[in-house]
Structure 1
């Protein structure tokens, strides 16, 4: 059982799809050098190396979002105090779900995929996911991107050589079942796998970080996602200019890592202080609030 009166001393890094925890290889020692314990758990079945998952992607085909969430909740729930949560891409969705479920002291969603109800779909995003969604039979299998498709979706601001190097080091196939379920989620009545309660006043603070050049999850996706939150819980958006989807490995990633940690630690420290919270009666202009979230 975690103790919410303790300041966070642990960071949990949650990777996205098409990569593994190896994608955090620079961030882990960077945060450890700042005195934090860092955990970068793999999804169930993803404990294998990148090369093994490319050779046999069956674990990718089998895993489900509820399994991933249950796995992460078990790890986080065993800690002495709520950690800081930082997730990239689909990991940003999982951070939002974890916070909604009461896990974590504060969360950062970097170039996050959308949670349920966010229906913005820019052209670059559609083009990025088209290799997975173009064939309905992909709903039952893992789908690998080509180096060219990877570069468009993940590393469009990188040199071709740098993109290929990262493709070889990080890339694994996408989960066709999860991608297709995400596509259809907003068409199915009732809560689906990526559901969060946008009215949860008890949710810990949440920061969205966007890369302005992201093709896969453009900034408009994060702005729309943030605007869906209508609770009193703190929700902010930060834009980094010129950053691609894989900004966690892009030159200058340290700036993003520092901003994410400083924001999360600051607001988690506030949230973990014993206090009595009172709220005045106010009239909320929701359209104006959503408009304010469009600015970085």
Structure 2
């Protein structure tokens, strides 16, 4: 069984958001890698103060290929766990035959899946911002407190924003709109087992969209399951009770991961 885990973060966060998951999994004797997106490997405060202009050119294909290279350099195929846009990237990596199991937590929209109104509304700050397709964007504190992490007590909003939120490339939103990464092969026989986790009050990646992705992904012959937490938001990996989500994700992945000998030879 693989003892390696790769954690893939989503938009508006960097690898710092995985600090709880990483420590918890390392306490269970896993080797945990949580790489940042290209040009995102600094503290959130530094990134907000001075984002690298090159970040504006990072899109979904750059991210998929970035993690693809990192995975192929590992000594063994890992369990892949992705949140939000990272959950979408992770599904493309599974589609390439990578990983022994995958968990997508609150996955962002995936080509071929209908998007709900709340998810559409959550894209407005990017799509209604001129030239956002070639700009580094910054999340407002209001958006953070009302849509991204709406379960946070008001007294914690500024602290959590300052600790975790980073700029993100508008390009990834436009790439999603035009399906720049292409379609996932829903019936792919080489796809590793996959768990989809959604939040019932998620306003970024609505639970009904996670369910729709599940309906597509279950066409593959490998095991595919769905778990919805009714009272969890998009902030679920940092929201109180995140430990339950972290443990459920890893327990499922460890229990259902394909044997290392059954992982296809990596193909570029």
TM-score by length of 2: 0.92
* Partner residue in 2 for 1:280: none
**Cα offset, 1:123, TM superposition:** 2.2
Q: Which one scores higher on RCO, CA 8 angstroms, separation ≥ 6?
A: 2
Distance of 2:206 and 2:4 partners within structure 1: 29
* Partner residue in 1 for 2:237: 248
Among 46, 53, 57, the residue aligned to 2:47: 53
* Partner residue in 2 for 1:272: 259
Distance of 2:55 and 2:177 partners within structure 1: 18
Distance of 1:15 and 1:59 partners within structure 2: 19
* Partner residue in 2 for 1:96: 91
Q: Deviations over 1:23-51 (max 9, x none)?
A: 00111111100110100001111112212
Q: Given that residues 60 and 174 in structure 1 are in contact (C-alpha distance below 8 angstroms), is that contact kept between their aligned partners in structure 2?
A: yes
Among 23, 34, 38, the residue aligned to 1:29: 23
Among 192, 199, 211, the residue aligned to 1:204: 192
Q: Which has the larger radius of gyration?
A: 1
Structure 1 residue 237 and structure 2 residue 222: aligned?
Answer: no
* Partner residue in 1 for 2:168: 174
Q: Secondary structure at the match of 1:156?
A: coil
* Partner residue in 1 for 2:82: 87
Matched length = 260
Q: Given that residues 86 and 92 in structure 1 are in contact (C-alpha distance below 8 angstroms), is that contact kept between their aligned partners in structure 2?
A: yes
Structure 1 runs (4+) greater than 4 angstroms displaced = none
* Partner residue in 2 for 1:146: 140
Distance of 1:31 and 1:143 partners within structure 2: 32
**Cα offset, 1:143, TM superposition:** 1.7
* Partner residue in 1 for 2:6: 12
Q: Deviations over 1:262-285 (max 9, x none)?
A: 0000001xx21768xxxxxxxxxx
TM-score by length of 1: 0.84
Q: Deviations over 1:6-34 (max 9, x none)?
A: x1101100000111000001111111001
Structure 1, unaligned runs of 5 or more: 1-6, 186-191, 276-296
Q: Describe how 1:112-191 pairs up with structure 2 within 5 A.
A: 112-120=107-115, 122-185=116-179
Q: Deviations over 1:40-65 (max 9, x none)?
A: 00111111221222123323212122
Structure 2, unaligned runs of 5 or more: 263-268
**Cα offset, 1:196, TM superposition:** 1.5
Distance of 1:234 and 1:114 partners within structure 2: 21
Q: Deviations over 1:72-128 (max 9, x none)?
A: 1121112222111100000101110111111110000000012211122x2221222
